[in-house]
Amino acid sequence: MNDDRMAALEDRVAALEQRLTGHDAPDTAAAADPPVPSTGPTLDPDVFWALLGLEARVPAPGAVMIVGSVDTPAGQSARWQLGAGTQDLLDDDWGDIADRLAALGHPVRLRLLHQVLHGTSTPRELTEVEGIGSSGQVYHHLRQLTAAGWLRNRGSHYEVPVESIVPLLTTLLGGRR
């Protein structure tokens, strides 16, 4: 996607985000788990406001975006978005991100990320969580998550980098489907 198209897309998403803070924000339940769009021409704008906004701004073959505004139980705040054109994504070498995705492919690593987002951040605290494993196992998983960029070591504790919070949560959301 060229820089002008990306800038235009980012401006439009910013406008959608601003709209969310006004009186016409979508119903929370509808935004959290919208129905799958039909193949027909009519989509409910109260449910598919983001999709319709994206389609109105990006020509075929389209684009994909991840966007979020998050306050974690551990006290981190993240406002983040990333978009890419469909053709750019289809043309990419997906093998380049295999290690980052593979790091999420273990249930203990997902539990560790969950715990860190909830404020349990030291290896000692994490080892005390039932079902996480021994300290050696915890350190092994923490190294994998850190190498993949899902965690950052801050001396005596770990954190999910702010720039990884929304991508992590949207990856988990996509895994629900």
pTM greater than 0.85: no
The backbone torsions φ and ψ at residue 83, rounded to the nearest 5 degrees and listed phi first, read: -135, 155
Mean pLDDT by 10 residues, the chain (177 residues): 66 62 42 56 88 92 95 95 95 96 97 97 96 95 97 96 96 93
Tokens of 120: 């349990």
Token pair listed for 99:
């290690």
3-state secondary structure of 81: strand
Q: Which CATH number fits domain 96-175: 3.30.1110.20, 3.65.10.10, 1.10.10.10, 3.30.365.10?
A: 1.10.10.10
pLDDT of residue 177: 85
Q: Which amino acid is at 74?
A: A
Segments making up each domain of the chain, as ranges: 3-93, 96-175
